[in-house]
Structure 1
Amino acid sequence: VSVSSSSGGDSVAVSAGSDGESIGNCPFSQRLFMILWLKGVIFNVTTVDLKRKPADLQALAPGVNPPFVTFNGEVKVDVNKIEEFLEEKLTPPRYPRLAPRHPEANSAGIDVFAKFSAYSGPCTDTV
């Protein structure tokens, strides 16, 4: 999925679904969508089949899987840095501030996904 701002110059690339057409279920990509939606950014969505990654996308961020952002010709690939970048560029009064008031709150749940992503359910072995 390629997301372009209404101005058309900058974009966000996120993972497409298994059919190559629908929006995928990548939690990092969904996080960027939530930020853009909560800020009220108007954007266009174009799906990209990552199994047949287009050459221009490969050239833009070689060896990197979405999500990533391009802005003024610069590619940003770290989701946390992208979130900080969006908060820095999309500021009040036009866009709401989403960052917590206390910066240390950013790291409060930083490892929650890593800890629970491998959880497969309760043990079903009985003795």
Structure 2
Amino acid sequence: VYTVMNSSTDESYHRWDGDTLKRCGKELGITIEQQSVPASQLMTKALRMASSKSLPDVLQLDASEMPTFAEAGGLIPLKDLGLTTTDIPDGIVDFGSYDGKYYGAARTVNTLALFYNKDI
């Protein structure tokens, strides 16, 4: 059994995440349990859990919170778990890295663009 803690407390997101984790778990032959905490409380709860060594197996943090959590010693570089970034674009690796170590994959990545009419 693996545990994922996230901030998917909104019913539709919680259900979607739960269904996705269940489907992935079935494909892998494991059970994945979802623990959802309100976004405003996730970092505080995760830091408290880190200090008591009771963190979940996977923690979904906002990218802006990752450096604080890495500094607190709450994350393991994915390289230490035997995972490689070989096929991952540099920008995505940079997004999940702190102080030269890759800690996590972005759940979603988007590209923003601005189109304009230069004649106007």
TM-score, structure 2 normalization: 0.39
- In terms of fraction of residues, the more helix-rich structure is 2
